[in-house]
Amino acid sequence: MKFGVVVFPGSNCDRDMFDALKHDLGQDVTMLWHKDRDLSKFTTEDCIVLPGGFSYGDYLRCGAIARFSPMMQSVIEFANKGGKVFGVCNGFQILCESGLLPGALLRNANQQFVCKNVFIKNSSEEVFKIPVAHGEGRYYADEQTLNELEANGQVIFRYCDENGQFTKDSNPNGATRNIAGITNAQRNVFGMMPHPERACSDILGNTDGRQIIETLLMAKQLVH
């Protein structure tokens, strides 16, 4: 399996993702420049990653300009053919802006940038400690979309406390229904606000992110 990490002007977690995938998880990783278009080296068994950061300075809206980059046109085609695409933080915002995932990421409810460890729980009731670092991470969608996500099992992660309880205090940004990550209906495109690549190394004292990446991206299909 091969990974491609897209680099936009303003990306600041691209090297973190590269390091986690290559050195902590032992994967074949290539950096992809935003002005390029060529994804011919990748098959639908591979994965393209949109890292965190502030693509194009977050002008207009977070991810709004990156959505129109040459590489994103190829990524959209790749995803529509069944290729895996994984967006973290700003990458999640870009996926929503591009229409590959439903909903939007709005300014945090407290109007402040948040940077700390949080807890998230998956559909298998496993709890992970993962860092967040964002100012616009509040997931929002209309009620119909939210209900469809719930019914289809597309909500992959929710913010919780260390005991797995969904509380207001455990929600770092005011995200609707504590949603921290979702997948598309076909389960080949996935976005999340927390940064699993920052929790992959023994040196950092937290490897919960390694399990998330292994489960979501290295299985033949995203979990559901």
- Closest among 132, 129, 117, 136 to 174, alpha carbons compared: 136
Q: Using DSSP bridges, classify how beta strands 189-192 and 84-88 pair: parallel, antiparallel or unpaired.
A: parallel
Q: How many CB atoms lie within 10 A of CB 33?
A: 13
**Of residues 34, 134, 160, 197, which has the active-site annotation?**
197
Please say if 13 is a catalytic residue.
no
**Of residues 62, 89, 160, 200, which has the active-site annotation?**
89
Quote the CA–CA distance of 76 and 79 in Å, as a whole number: 5
Quote the CA–CA distance of 173 and 29 in Å, as a whole number: 31
Please say if 89 is a catalytic residue.
yes
Q: How many CB atoms lie within 10 A of CB 144?
A: 8
Sign of the alpha-carbon dihedral angle for 51, 60, 37, 78: positive
- Closest among 78, 84, 18, 2 to 51, alpha carbons compared: 18
Active site residues: 89, 195, 197
